[in-house]
């Protein structure tokens, strides 16, 4: 699922793709992404539109991109254009040893370049992922506000 954010004050849309799970249960990728979407919706003046996962799959299919291909900046940019986003956030949930990390990239849809990379570690393993996702969203808000505000 992708969520598109339309901050009227800044005049752009942003999409958040489900994070890819690596070494963690499959459901954690979409769960982390949902926490980020909810947190991003709390930016003052933001209208949140959730694009149905079938619409995203269709957009990816039209671009001949699998859903797992959304981690590639150029592919994410193509799908972002189809769903009307200026930025796309892609990422993964990774388990390494006792730590679980969230790795993400903010992609400019117009250029296909990575504007910023964000990384957050949960030293409490999977139990700390909600807090880690909220922290990542907070960092993302600061980036977007300083970039467009």
Q: Give the pLDDT of residue 149.
A: 43
- The closest alpha carbon to 57, from 30, 31, 86, 83, belongs to 83
- Number of helices and strands in the chain (H, E): 4, 7
- Look up residue 86 and give its DSSP letter: S
The CATH number for 138's domain is: 3.40.50.10610
Q: What is the pLDDT along the chain (149 residues), one digit of tens a residue?
A: 555 554 444 456 778 888 999 999 999 998 998 898 888 876 666 554 444 445 555 666 666 655 555 556 777 777 777 777 788 888 999 998 888 999 999 988 889 899 999 999 998 999 999 999 999 998 988 887 765 54
Q: Is 76:17 a contact under the CB 8 Å cutoff?
A: yes
Q: Considering the entire predicted model, what is its pTM? A: 0.81
Phi, psi torsion values for 148, nearest 5 degrees: -120, -10
Bridge partner list, 90: 105
Domain that holds residue 124: 2-148
Number of domains the chain contains: 1
């Amino acid at each position: 699922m992708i969520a598109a954010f339309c901050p009227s004050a800044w005049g752009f849309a942003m999409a958040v793709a489900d994070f890819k799970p690596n070494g963690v249960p499959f459901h954690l990728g979409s769960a982390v992404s949902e926490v980020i979407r909810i947190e991003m919706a709390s930016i003052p003046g933001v209208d949140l539109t959730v694009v149905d996962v079938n619409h995203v799959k269709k957009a990816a299919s039209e671009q001949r991109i699998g859903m797992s291909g959304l981690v590639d900046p150029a592919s994410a940019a193509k799908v972002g254009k189809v769903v009307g986003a200026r930025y796309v956030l892609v990422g993964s949930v990774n388990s390494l040893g006792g730590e679980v990390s969230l790795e993400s990239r903010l992609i400019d849809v117009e250029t296909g370049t990575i504007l910023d990379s964000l990384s957050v570690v949960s030293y409490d393993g999977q139990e700390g992922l909600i807090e880690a996702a909220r922290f990542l969203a907070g960092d993302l808000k600061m980036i977007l506000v300083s970039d467009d505000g």
